[in-house]
Amino acid sequence: MTAKRKPYNTYTKEFKLEAIRLMDESDRPASEIAMKLGIRRNQLYKWKEQMTKKGDVPTATRGRPKKEDQSESSRLRQENKRLREENEILKKAAVFFAKELD
């Protein structure tokens, strides 16, 4: 029997910024701050690194955008890829059946 994985916690941008501020301005260790906030210590460091690299922490959105949010070009790229794969399958089937006739 497999155990179900606990769902990911999502945190608001304000929460992340406040956690980074507490870590920077406090003289307490990051592990203590993380424990009080109920998060892992390495998550604080990850948010801080993202803040320094990008100048902002990412929001709570994950994964691929929903169909209605995708741009038309990305939707067309996906459709083009699917059609190319179908075309390859049809070519291989045509070769197979042509060999059967001989």
pLDDT tens-place values along the chain, 102 residues long: 567 777 777 888 889 989 989 988 888 898 999 999 999 999 989 988 888 887 766 665 566 666 666 788 888 999 999 999 999 999 999 999 998 877
Tokens of 32: 């203590």
Considering the domain boundaries, does residue 48 fall inside one? yes
Considering the domain boundaries, does residue 8 fall inside one? no
For the chain, the straight-line distance linking the first and the last C-alpha, in angstroms and rounded, comes to: 53
Considering the domain boundaries, does residue 69 fall inside one? no
Determine the structural domain holding residue 26 and report its residue range.
13-59+74-101
Query: How far is residue 73's CA from residue 91's CA, in Å, rounded to a whole number?
Result: 27
Query: How far is residue 2's CA from residue 47's CA, in Å, rounded to a whole number?
Result: 31
- Could you give the number of structural domains in the chain? 1
Q: Report whether 39 contacts 12 (CB < 8 A).
A: no
